[in-house]
Chains A and B, each alone.
Chain A
Amino acid sequence: MRILVVEDDKDVAGFVVKGLREAGHTVEHADNGRDGLFMAASENFDAIILDRMLPGGIDGLRLLETLRAQDNATPVMFLSALGQVDDRVKGLKAGGDDYLTKPFAFAELLARVEAMSRRGKGEGPTTRLGVGDLEMDLLSRGVKRAGQKIDLQPREFRLLEYLMRHAGQVVTRTMLLEGVWDYHFDPQTNVIDVHISRLRQKIDKPFEAPLLHTVRNAGYMLRVEEP
């Protein structure tokens, strides 16, 4: 993926750029709003990571509003120290696709950027999802693995659906909390892990090759393990 990082803090920018490159992405960097807007408007990117408070006369919000006014629909994730609910709402209203508050874990940023840019590619209305021998029929709400029917509770179904839609990507606990349960708080307990392990019992335990993997310090990933 080709990603533009607009961030004025050298350390944060360096950390993000390096991490994204390591993850196999092509990264461009602008350290002020003016350059950022110029690059975002004149080149094609798959995703933009945008700080809100930027030097150069154009802050993140104005940059994005200008971009959206030009019918540029590149997925944009805000990366900001302004973390109050109203700040988030403002960012999303301005046309942001996601909002990550500083300080952040890189794994969270990477997972969210990848998820966001895939979402941006416009998934058509699918009726079936499949990962390896795991199949999900969204119409009949049936799940099968290796032809064997698996019974899931409604919430387990939604959890699996979310994981399957993001198959091959790291999905963080926060993403699951927001995407599956629509919760915007931080549980003190390992409740997401418990839900994952319950799902694992149903879709992985009876079968030989596990599909639902734990990614250390990051989250989970649903994928077929290459032999």
Chain B
Amino acid sequence: MSSSAPDQPETTTPAIRPVRRRRLLRSAGVRFAVLYALVFGVSTILLAASLRYSTIGLLDRQTHEAIRTDARGLAAHFKTGGLSALVLTLDGRINEDINENAIYLLVDPLGNRIAGNLSRWPQGIDTPQVWYQVPVERTGKRSHALMRFYDLPGGFQLLVGRDVSARTQLRRLLRDGLIWALAAMVLLGTLGALIIRGLFKRALADISATTRAIARGDLTQRVRRSGHGDEFDELAETINDMLDRITKLMNGVREVSNAIAHDLRTPITRARARLEDAASHARTEEELRGAVDRATGELDGVVKVFQALLRIAEIEAGARRSAFANIDLTPVLEDLAEFFEAVAEERHIAIDTHWPSDLPMVGDRDMLQQAVANLLENAIKFSPPDHRVTISARMDAANIEIEIADEGPGIPEADRPRATERFYRGELARSTPGTGLGLALVAAIAQLHGGVLRLEDNAPGLRAVLVLPRRALNPEATLRIKLWAQTVRKAETQSGADAQRGA
């Protein structure tokens, strides 16, 4: 792949022109404009063709028919009255001037004129029953005539025709008109194409300018709406929604990194200070060891925060749905209640439990354990002595609700929406040990299961309600996740194979 690059021209100069042409065609505006001009042109040509067919074609057909009828009538006269009757009829027609465009010529077998209004047999006419269009000279005027001759019995030949100079004029008129129309079409087509391209460019210019600004890092830009409510407006709206979401995520990331900076900097600073202080001031080995131990403890706290953050990120990425299985929450709750009951009892807190004998659902057992454990530990941590913590669970067709309530200080209503943010710590929580990540983790776990964590007032205290859909995901979502996982796995093995090949 590195040595051969077939699409890269060896020498740049001669390749520039075709590339530019292709790039011009790659512009959607130009493409649409060309398409527009093409459609316009084709429809004009079709219109001209039909116009021509219906005028000149019709006249042609009418002339042919007239000549044929004329010839048939004259032939009948010849048949019934012989040559003299035919000559008489011809002379009569010519003299009476029934049709000034009519042309007749009757010749004997030697080619001598017997009757008719042509002085001589026109040149080039030698096959009977064939249409000829030839220039003729008639009463001193040069004009065009459409004619045809018939062999009569006895070697006589009858030429019947019509002067079509009027039609020729019409044809010329039509042709000129069409040429003008074509010129107008080319002009209009080009103009229209340019207008379309301009419209496209203008409609897209704002979008591309905005997105370019965003790409440069200016997240305040938004696509202007034209107000027509058209497709471009729809696109602009979609893009703006996307930008809002990106901005929100970016702010979230910024907040988290600020919080990380603060929450990790503090213990690291303390550990560092302790170590430095011990290094320069510790008098005994015991003092030194104590300082080192405490610094190690601080660092363990940092690691804990790290792990919690990574775990939340891992859960939020949704990568852990692979561990979803059919589980029963009742034994999970029983075990957790028993596990923490020891701590509660030590603090003189009673744990009340109410739940049905089974709580079947689809989910990740380990994570739900952790979610309930976090809520329960919180409740025990903030519950005053000689009060109770209540764990209860309810189930309906769609959801399982796990409720953990304490009689502690609770969270003020104004703070509740923020309580599940990473590193959020309420006024009261600030003095207690903790990472500020517990509720964020619970919320992430709930979200992964398609549920929510609700924080309510227990008057007094906090009531945390974990609402979990029993069938956590609809089949379509499950399928999507499965496909996604397959793709990821494929990509992983692919990159693994690439790496091996590379090594």
Q: Which residues of A contact B (CB under 8 A)?
A: 57, 83-86, 101, 103, 105, 155, 181, 183-191, 194-195, 198, 217
Which candidate, B55-63, B86-94, B369-377, B407-415, is the interface stretch facing chain A?
Answer: B369-377
Judged by a CB distance under 8 angstroms, whether B170 is at the interface is no
Query: Is A191 touching B366 in the complex (CB atoms < 8 A)?
Result: no
A191-B434 contact, Cβ under 8 Å, with A85-B314, A186-B304, A217-B293: no
> Which B residues lie within 8 Å of A85 (CB)?
314, 320, 323, 366
B428 to chain A minimum Cβ distance, whole angstroms, is 16
Q: In the bound complex, do residue A194 and residue B343 qualify as a contact, i.e. CB atoms below 8 Å apart? A: yes
In the bound complex, CA of A189 to CA of B380 (Å): 9
- B377: chain A residues at CB < 8 Å are 187-189
B346 CB → nearest A CB, Å? 6
Decide yes or no whether B438 CB sits under 8 A from chain A.
yes
> Is B293 touching A194 in the complex (CB atoms < 8 A)?
no
By a CB distance below 8 angstroms, the chain A residues around B319 are 84, 86
Question: Which residues from chain B contact A101 at a C-beta distance below 8 Å?
Answer: 307
Partner of B346, one of A57, A83, A194: A194
Q: How far is the CA of A86 from the CA of B488 in the complex (A)?
A: 13
CB–CB B434/A188 < 8 A: yes
Contact assessment for A191 and B369 in the assembled complex, using a CB-CB cutoff below 8 Å: no
Q: Which 6 A-B pairs have the closest CB atoms?
A: A185-B370, A194-B342, A191-B343, A189-B343, A194-B343, A188-B377
- Option from A84, A183, A195 in Cβ contact (under 8 Å) with B314: A84
Chain B residues bordering chain A, tally (CB within 8 A)? 31
Q: Is B484 an interface residue (CB 8 A)?
A: no
Contact, CB under 8 Å: A155 / B338? yes
**Bound Cα distance from A188 to B381, whole angstroms:** 9
Q: Which residues of A contact B343 (CB under 8 A)?
A: 189-191, 194
Q: Are B314 and A191 in contact (CB under 8 A)?
A: no
Chain B residues lying within 8 Å of A187, measured Cβ to Cβ, are 373, 377
CB < 8 Å neighbour of A181 from B303, B335, B346, B381? B335
- B131 interface contact, C-beta 8 A: no
The answer to whether A185 and B369 have CB atoms under 8 Å apart is yes
B246 within 8 Å of A by Cβ?
no
In the complex, how many residue pairs between chain A and chain B have their CB atoms under 8 Å apart? 58
* Interface presence of B98 (CB below 8 A): no
CB-based contact B381/A189 at 8 Å: yes
- In the bound complex, what is the Cα–Cα distance between A155 and B341 (angstroms)? 12
Min CB gap B292→A, angstroms: 11
- With contacts A185-B374, A195-B342 known, what are 6 further pairs, Cβ within 8 A? A57-B503, A86-B322, A186-B304, A188-B433, A194-B343, A217-B293
Known contacts A83-B307, A84-B310, A85-B314; decide if A191 and B339 are in contact (CB<8 Å). yes
Complex CA distance for A20 and B366, rounded to whole angstroms: 33
Please, which residues of chain B bring their CB within 8 A of the CB of A103? 299, 303
**Sample (18) of A-B pairs whose CB atoms are under 8 Å apart:** A83-B310, A84-B319, A86-B320, A103-B299, A155-B338, A183-B339, A185-B366, A185-B373, A185-B374, A187-B373, A188-B381, A188-B438, A189-B340, A190-B343, A191-B342, A194-B342, A195-B339, A217-B293
CB distance from A59 to the nearest CB of B (A): 10
Most buried by A among B300, B307, B322, B503: B307
Please, how many angstroms separate the alpha-carbon atoms of A186 and B323 in the complex?
A: 19
Using a CB–CB cutoff of 8 Å, the interface residues on chain B facing chain A are 293, 299-300, 303-304, 307, 310, 314, 319-320, 322-323, 335, 338-340, 342-343, 346, 366, 369-370, 373-374, 377, 380-381, 433-434, 438, 503
* B320 cross-chain contacts in A, Cβ below 8 A: 85-86
Q: Are B342 and A198 in contact (CB under 8 A)?
A: yes
Q: Is the CB of A186 within 8 A of B381?
A: no
**A41-B316 Cα distance, complex, nearest whole Å:** 41
**Chain B contacts of A57 at CB under 8 A?**
503
Q: Is the CB of A181 within 8 A of B380?
A: no
- Determine the distance from Cα of A172 to Cα of B332 in the docked complex, in whole angstroms: 23
Chain B residue with Cβ nearest A186:
B304
A75 to B118, CA, bound (A): 123
Complex CA distance for A195 and B381, rounded to whole angstroms: 17
A83 to B303, CA, bound (A): 12
Residue of B nearest to A155 (CB): B338
A188: nearest chain-B partner, CB-CB:
B377
Q: Could you say which residues of chain B place their CB within 8 Å of the CB of A198?
A: 342
Minimum distance in angstroms from B371 CB to a CB of chain A = 9
Q: A85-B320, A181-B335 are in contact. Are A186 and B342 (CB under 8 A)?
A: no
> How far does the alpha carbon of A101 sit from the alpha carbon of B374 in the complex, in Å?
22
Q: Which residue of A lies closest to B342 (CB)?
A: A194
CA distance A86 to B303 in the complex (A): 19
> What residue of chain B has the Cβ atom nearest to residue A62's Cβ?
B500
Contact A191 B340 (CB under 8 A): yes
Closest to B308 in A: A186
State in angstroms the CA–CA spacing of A86 and B322 once bound together.
Answer: 10
With A85-B314, A194-B342, A217-B293 in contact, do A184 and B366 touch (Cβ < 8 Å)? yes
Q: Which residue from chain A places its CB closest to the CB of B433 in the assembled complex? A: A188
Q: Separation in Å of the B385 CB from the closest CB of chain A?
A: 15
Q: Closest chain B residue to A85 by CB distance?
A: B320
- With a 10 A CB-CB cut-off, give which of A84, A103, A188 has the most chain B CB atoms: A188
- Between A103, A155, A198, the greatest number of chain B beta carbons within 10 A of the residue's beta carbon is seen for A103
Given contacts A191-B342, A195-B342, A217-B293, contact A183 B303 (CB under 8 A): no
Which partner residue on chain A sits nearest B322 by CB separation? A86
CA distance A190 to B293 in the complex (A): 18
Cβ of A13 to closest chain B Cβ, rounded Å: 20
From A195, which residue of chain B is reached at the shortest CB distance? B342
CA distance A198 to B381 in the complex (A): 20
Residue of B nearest to A154 (CB): B338
CA gap between A57 and B501 in the complex, in Å: 11
Closest residue of chain A to B304 (Cβ to Cβ) is A186
CB of B40 to closest CB in A, whole Å? 60
CA distance in complex: A188, B374 (Å): 8
Residues of B within 8 A of A190 (CB): 343
